[in-house]
Amino acid sequence: MSERLMSEHSLLEITGLRVGFDTEEGRVQAVRDVSLRLERGEILALCGESGCGKSVTAMSIPRLLPPETTRLSGSIRLDGRELTDLPESALRAIRGKDVSMVFQEPMTSLNPSFTVGFQIAEVLRRHEGMSRTAARSRAVELLELVGIPAPARRVREYPHQLSGGMRQRVMIAIAVACSPRVLIADEPTTALDVTIQAGVLDVFRDLRDRLGTAIILITHDLGVVADVADRAVVMYAGRAVEEASVTELYARPRHPYTAGLMRALPSAAVTGEDGRRRLTEIPGLVPPPFEDPDECAFHPRCPRAREDCTATRPALEAFGTGHRAACFHPLSTAAGGDA
Amino acid sequence: MNAPVLEVKDLVKHYPIRRGGRSVRAVDGVSLSVGPGEVLGLVGESGSGKSTIGRCVLRLTEPTAGSVSLGGRDVTHLSRRALRPLRRDVHMVFQDPYSSLNPRFTVGQIVAEPLRRHGVARGAEAETRVREMLERVGLSADMRTRRPHELSGGQRQRVGLARALVLEPKLVVADEPVSALDVSVQASVLNLIADLQRDMGFSCLFITHDLSVVEFLADRIAVMYLGRIVETGPTEKIFAEPQHPYTQALLSAAPEPDPVRQRERRRVVLGGEVPSPLDPPTGCRFHTRCPIAVDTCRTDEPRLTGVREADRPVACHLVTPSAVPDLTEGN
C-alpha cells in the first residue's frame, strides 16, 4: 500500500472527523478525531460497544444527523470529492445513489402502506429517472438478487406479509437499487435469528463479489466480523484504537481493548485454578462522553496501563502492513496469539 | 435421585386470536425438568415458545393444558392466594434492565420489596439484608439510595439479580438476562450468575437465543423449535454431537469469532422460513425446512425419546440406534 501513487485515493477517505451533539447537559462528543479509508470492493467492519461512535461515524458520511444540534468537522471524501461542505440539496442526490444505508430494524425503515415493489421502484424513478414499468421489472430483479424466492409474487406484497429476514433483504434491495458505491449497514443482522442472519450475511458477500459494492458494516458482534469482513476498525470512546485485516486482528490483537473484547466472549471462557469456568472481564465503565482529557481513554480499565498512559494520548502507530493500534504498551505478537 | 425443583409436563399454551377461532400455538406439548442446583438452558429462536414456558412456570401466563410442579407440588391450578407463599421460592430475571425496574423506587426499595411482600424482614433487618445482597451482586451498599436511571445497564441487571435472589429462592427463571448488554458487561454479569448459582445453589431455567451463553452456563440444554422441544441433553454432548437436524443447523449458523475457522466451516443453510405457529406443519414441525426430510417426517410426528442415549432424547425419525444424520457433511 505504501508504494501507491499520491494521486491514487481510496474510494472513501475520512480524515480527522469530529462529531459532537449539543445537548442540555453540554456537548456530547461522539466522534473524536477518526480517520479511516474504505477501498473499492472492500467489506470494512466498524466495531465496538454501545456509545463508541461507530454509528455516528458512518452516519456522518451521508450526513444523516440532526443539522441543528450536530457539530461536525474534518474531511469526508468520496472518490476525491469532499462531502462535508456540500449543501443539503447536493447530499440528497448522493444519498441512496452513491451512498446508501441499511438499518437494524427493517420494519421501521419500510413504509407499511406501500408494497415492497413500489418502495424499490420509487428509488429507481427518483434517482435513475426510470419509467414506472422499467422500475417495476428492475424491482423484481433486485429481489431476486438479494435471494428472495418467488420475487414476481413478493414484489406485490406489503412489509407485514414478510418475515424479519425477508424484510431485511428488501431493505438491502432498496439500498443497492442504484448500484451505490458505498453501502453502509448498521447492525443489519442484530434483530435477526442466527439461522436467518447467515443468509443475510451471504447477501452482503454476494453483492461485494458480484457488483463490487464497498460495504461498511457496523456491528458489535465479533462473530459477524470474523465471518464477512475483510478489514476491521475497533472504536473506543469516539476514537479508532486499532485497525487491521480481519485475519491479522484476530490472530494478533495489539490493543488491550481489542484483546479484552475477544477474551470476554462466552466462547473464550477459561478454566481457573479452582476448576471453575470463567470469562475474562473488562472492569469498569466507558468514560462519560463530555470530557476528553489528553490521555488514553481506556487506561482506567486497562490491565497494561502504566504512568505514561495518562501523560498524553497515544496515536495510531503501524505494526506491520495495514495494522495500526493506538497504545503505548501494546500486546506482543506472542501474547496476542494465545489470548 | 432427588426430586426435581421444577417439573413441566405436557405444557400447552395457545393464544386464541379474534378471527376464525384459531389460535397461536406458542407452546404445544413440552415436558422438562430442572433438578436441584441444576442450570437448564432453554434455547430457541424467536417464536419458538421459550419465553412463554418461563412465563407459565411463574404463572404470569396461565397454561392452556399440562402441568407445572414446583418441588413436587402441582401449582398449575392453585389460586393466586395459595400461590403467594410459593412465590418466595421462584423468582425471575428479565431481559430488559430498563423496563423491569420501577423508576420511582430507589435501589434499596427495589431489593427490599420481596422481603417486605413476604413478611420476611422489615426495618433495620431488611436494610442489612439488602446491603449484603447488593454486595453479593458486586454493587456497593451506597447504591441503595440511587434510582434506576442513574445506573448503567450492567448495574441495573445486577439490581434485578439482587431482587430475584434476596429471598434465596430455589428456582430462578432468567429470560435473556444478558442479551441487552455489551460484551464486556455481559462477561461480568455471566461470571456473577455462575458464581451466585454455585454459591447459593439455586436451580435455574435459563432462557436464551445465544448458544455461546448456554454453553458457558448450562448443565443441560433443551432446544426448541415452533413450540416443541426437538432435542435435550447434557451441554457438552449437545455441542459435541448435535443429533437433531435443527440443532445442527443452529450450531453451524452461529458465527465463530475466529475468521480462519469461521471461513472454513461448513454451514447448514436452512431453506424457507419458520412456519406460522397458527398453522404448524403436520408431522415433524421442522420438515418444511429440513434438508433431509423423508415422507414419514411429513406425516408422523416424531416423539422425543432417548433413541441412542437415555440422557439425551431427540425428536427425529432419522436418528436411529445405528445412525445420526450429519447435515454438515457434503452439504
Q: How far apart are CA B172 and CA B156, in angstroms?
A: 17
Tens-digit pLDDT profile for residues B104-128: 999 999 999 999 999 999 999 999 9
Question: Residue A105: its pLDDT value, please?
Answer: 80
Which CATH number does the domain B6-105+158-240 belong to among 3.40.50.620, 3.40.50.300, 3.40.50.1100, 2.40.10.340? 3.40.50.300
Q: How far apart are CA B98 and CA B117, in angstroms?
A: 22
Among A223, A247, A283, beta carbon nearest to B254? A223
Q: Are B95 and B177 in contact (CB under 8 A)?
A: yes
H or E element: which one contains B259?
helix B259-264
Among B152, B209, B212, beta carbon nearest to A265? B212
Residue B46 at interface with chain A, using a CB cutoff of 8 Å: yes
Tens-digit pLDDT profile for residues B192-233: 999 999 999 999 999 999 999 999 999 999 999 999 999 999
pLDDT above 90 (res A225): yes
Q: Name the pLDDT band for B240 (thresholds 50, 70, 90).
A: very high
How far, in Å, are A239, A319, B29, B300 from residue A235 at the CA level? 5, 17, 47, 52
- Going by their DSSP bridges, the two strands A182-186 and A214-219 should be labelled as parallel
DSSP B213: H
Question: Residue A288: its pLDDT value, please?
Answer: 83
Among A163, A226, A280, beta carbon nearest to B257? A226
pLDDT above 90 (res A300): yes
Q: How far apart are CA B207 and CA B187, in angstroms?
A: 17
Mean pLDDT (chain B, rounded): 93
Mean pLDDT (chain A, rounded): 91
Joined together, the cell numbers standing for residue B325 give 444424520
Contact A49 B188 (CB under 8 A): no
Q: Are B105 and B75 in contact (CB under 8 A)?
A: no
**Chain-centre distance of CA B283, in angstroms?**
26
B256 contacts in chain A (CB < 8 Å):
223, 226, 267
Question: Residue B280: its pLDDT value, please?
Answer: 92
Among B187, B209, B211, beta carbon nearest to A281? B187
Residue B83 at interface with chain A, using a CB cutoff of 8 Å: no
How far, in Å, are A154, B106, B116, B151, B206 from residue B73 at the CA level? 51, 35, 25, 39, 21
Report the gap between the CA of B200 and the closest CA in chain A (Å): 15
Report the gap between the CA of A281 and the closest CA in chain B (Å): 5
Joined together, the cell numbers standing for residue A303 give 490491565
Residue B260 at interface with chain A, using a CB cutoff of 8 Å: yes
Contact A195 B267 (CB under 8 A): no
- As a three-state string, the secondary structure of chain A is CCCCCCCCCCCEEEEEEEEEEEECCEEEEEEEEEEEEECCCCEEEEECCCCCCHHHHHHCCCCCCCCCCEEEEEEEEECCEECCCCCHHHHHHHECCCEEEECCCHHHHCCCCCCHHHHHHHHHHHHHCCCHHHHHHHHHHHHHHCCCCCHHHHCCCCHHHCCHHHHHHHHHHHHCCCCCCEEEEECCCCCCCHHHHHHHHHHHHHHHHHHCCEEEEEECCHHHHHHHCCEEEEEECCEEEEEEEHHHHHHCCCCHHHHHHHHHCHHHCEECCCCCEECCCCCCCCCCCCCCCCCCCCHHHCCCCCHHHHCCCCCCEECCCCCEECCCCCCCHHHHHCC
The domain spans of chain B are 6-105+158-240, 241-331
Joined together, the cell numbers standing for residue A131 give 419509467
Residue A262 at interface with chain B, using a CB cutoff of 8 Å: yes
Among A194, A250, A276, beta carbon nearest to B258? A250
Contact A223 B262 (CB under 8 A): yes
Report the gap between the CA of A262 and the closest CA in chain B (Å): 8
B262 contacts in chain A (CB < 8 Å):
223, 226-227
Chain A residue with minimal CA distance to B255? A223
Q: Name the pLDDT band for A2 (thresholds 50, 70, 90).
A: very low
Q: How far apart are CA A195 and CA A202, in angstroms?
A: 12
Q: Name the pLDDT band for B97 (thresholds 50, 70, 90).
A: confident
> How much is the average pLDDT of B179-183?
89
pLDDT above 80 (res B36): yes
Q: Which residues have a Cβ under 8 Å from the Cβ of A173 and sit 6 or more positions away? A: A116, A120, A139, A142, A143, A145, A146, A148
Q: What angle do CA B153, B156, B162 make, to 5 degrees?
A: 145
Report the gap between the CA of A5 and the closest CA in chain B (Å): 31
Q: Name the pLDDT band for A204 (thresholds 50, 70, 90).
A: very high
Question: Residue A334: its pLDDT value, please?
Answer: 54
Residue B275 at interface with chain A, using a CB cutoff of 8 Å: no
- Going by their DSSP bridges, the two strands B6-16 and B39-43 should be labelled as unpaired
Amino acid at the residue B5? V
Among A246, A247, A269, beta carbon nearest to B216? A269
Among B194, B210, B273, beta carbon nearest to A163? B273
Contact A220 B190 (CB under 8 A): no
Question: Residue A337: its pLDDT value, please?
Answer: 40
Residue A339 at interface with chain B, using a CB cutoff of 8 Å: no
Q: Name the pLDDT band for B138 (thresholds 50, 70, 90).
A: very high
DSSP, collapsed to helix, strand or coil, labels residue B31 as strand
DSSP, collapsed to helix, strand or coil, labels residue B16 as strand
Residue A77 at interface with chain B, using a CB cutoff of 8 Å: no
Among B152, B183, B195, beta carbon nearest to A265? B183
A193 contacts in chain B (CB < 8 Å):
45-46, 209, 274
pLDDT above 70 (res A323): yes
A277 contacts in chain B (CB < 8 Å):
194, 216
Q: Which residues have a Cβ under 8 Å from the Cβ of A116 and sit 6 or more positions away? A: A110, A139, A143, A154, A155, A157, A158, A159, A162, A170, A173
Report the gap between the CA of B247 and the closest CA in chain A (Å): 11
- Going by their DSSP bridges, the two strands B90-93 and B171-175 should be labelled as parallel
Candidates B182, B197, B235: best to mutate against A (most CBs of A within 10 A) is B182
pLDDT above 70 (res B90): yes
Question: Residue A286: its pLDDT value, please?
Answer: 86
Joined together, the cell numbers standing for residue B286 give 421442522
Question: Residue A1: its pLDDT value, please?
Answer: 43
Percent of chain A past pLDDT 70, that is, above it, reads 96
pLDDT above 80 (res A7): no
pLDDT above 90 (res B331): no
Question: Residue A3: its pLDDT value, please?
Answer: 45
Q: Name the pLDDT band for B1 (thresholds 50, 70, 90).
A: low
Neighbours of A307 (CB within 10 A): 8
DSSP B219: S
Report the gap between the CA of A165 and the closest CA in chain B (Å): 9
Candidates B183, B191, B331: best to mutate against A (most CBs of A within 10 A) is B183
Contact B184 A261 (CB under 8 A): yes
**A127 vs A256 pLDDT, higher one:** A256
Q: What pTM was estimated for this model as a whole?
A: 0.91
Joined together, the cell numbers standing for residue A201 give 450475511
Residue A244 at interface with chain B, using a CB cutoff of 8 Å: no
pLDDT above 60 (res A278): yes
pLDDT above 60 (res A172): yes
**B241 vs B18 pLDDT, higher one:** B241
Tens-digit pLDDT profile for residues A184-203: 999 999 888 888 898 889 99
Question: Residue A96: its pLDDT value, please?
Answer: 86
